[in-house]
Amino acid sequence: MKLRYWLPTAIYCALIFGLSARSHVPDVGLSIPHLDKIVHALIYAGLTAVVSMGVYWSGGRTRGWKAFWGPVLFAVLYALTDEFHQRFVPHRTFDYFDLLADGVGALLMRTFLWRWWRRKPGVTEAVRSPTES
């Protein structure tokens, strides 16, 4: 594996940590129901995409369930540590529904990438589904 492909993952995680360390989340002024959950899903979908691309670009030949579920598991575990971290930030709490939104975003992104990469000719083992191993 080439470590330079994992730098975007480290930067993305640091950005999430920085946002989580803020006592007050910026208000975007939109009155969309459950907007915070949508934002959580999008942020962790992005993390899953960055991790998936790191696996793909670094030449990882992980097969089966590890290839599909690895990036999702990474994102969900990072989300868990992020929610735990927020317990120690003033005016922030651990929210199970945020964690659920994070997991849904991660799973949706990984499914999208798997389906998209699957259509490309010459796809490596790193992007095949658990059922194709």
Asked whether 20 and 82 are in contact (CB, 8 A), the reply is: yes
Q: Confirm whether 11 is domain-assigned.
A: no
Q: Confirm whether 2 is domain-assigned.
A: no
Which pLDDT score, from 0 to 100, does residue 31 have? 75
Distance (Å, rounded) from C-alpha 72 to C-alpha 49? 9
User: Which domain covers residue 117, as residue numbers?
Assistant: 34-132
Q: Confirm whether 86 is domain-assigned.
A: yes
Distance (Å, rounded) from C-alpha 126 to C-alpha 18? 30
Rounded to two decimals, the pTM is 0.81
Q: Confirm whether 54 is domain-assigned.
A: yes
Q: What digits encode the pLDDT tens for the residues 5-59?
A: 889 999 999 999 999 999 877 676 767 778 889 999 999 999 999 999 888 887 7
The count of domains in the chain is: 1
Torsion 63-99-16-28 (CA) sign: positive
Distance (Å, rounded) from C-alpha 83 to C-alpha 61? 31
Task: Return all residues near 120 (Cβ < 8 A) that are at least 6 apart.
Answer: none
Q: Confirm whether 1 is domain-assigned.
A: no
